[in-house]
Amino acid sequence: MGSRDLSRITALSLKPERYYLDVLRGPPGFTAGLWIVAGLGATIYGVRKDKPINLLVFGGLTLVAGWVSIDKWSPLELVLFPVGGVAGALGLALLMLRRVRRLQRREHA
């Protein structure tokens, strides 16, 4: 158990919001910000270009990254699971919408 582990345990037991504020200022916070920006970019691209598969792949990879970060004792899972869930859900919704549109075109043709 290293000094970082002890400091995290102490910070969480005393004032958890203070620990997460400190994390946001460091490299994990920067990485979390990059994941959020990447999620926004993937979402905008997928919705505008009607590319649900890109959103599904990005959402799946983000969820896997969140799952892996749980074992690393990293607070990134707090960002990765929501970003991956939203991207994956939007991708699934776009895929279903595309399927419905395709079926409607076949009925009218």
81 vs 109 pLDDT, higher one: 81
* Structural domain includes residue 53: yes
Counted domains in the chain: 1
Task: Report the predicted TM-score, pTM, of the whole model to 2 decimal places.
Answer: 0.73
Is 12 a domain residue? no
pLDDT at 2 over 70: no
Q: Is residue 16 part of a domain?
A: no
Residue 24 lies in a domain: no
The predicted pLDDT at position 17 comes to 60
Residue 3 counted as domain residue: no
Average pLDDT over residues 67-91: 87
Average pLDDT (41-48) is 93
Residue at 74 is within a domain: yes
Q: What is the largest CA-CA distance in the chain?
A: 69
pLDDT above 60 for 37: yes
Q: What does the block give as tokens for 54?
A: 């890109």
* Mean per-residue pLDDT over the chain, rounded: 83
DSSP 20-37: HHHHHHSHHHHHHHHHHH
Q: Which domain holds residue 48?
A: 29-108
What pLDDT does 94 receive? 94
In a domain, 75, yes or no: yes
Which pLDDT score, from 0 to 100, does residue 45 have? 94
Residue 18 maps to a domain: no
Q: What is the 3-state secondary structure (H, E, C) of 69-96?
A: HHHCCCCCHHHHHHHHHHHHHHHHHHHH
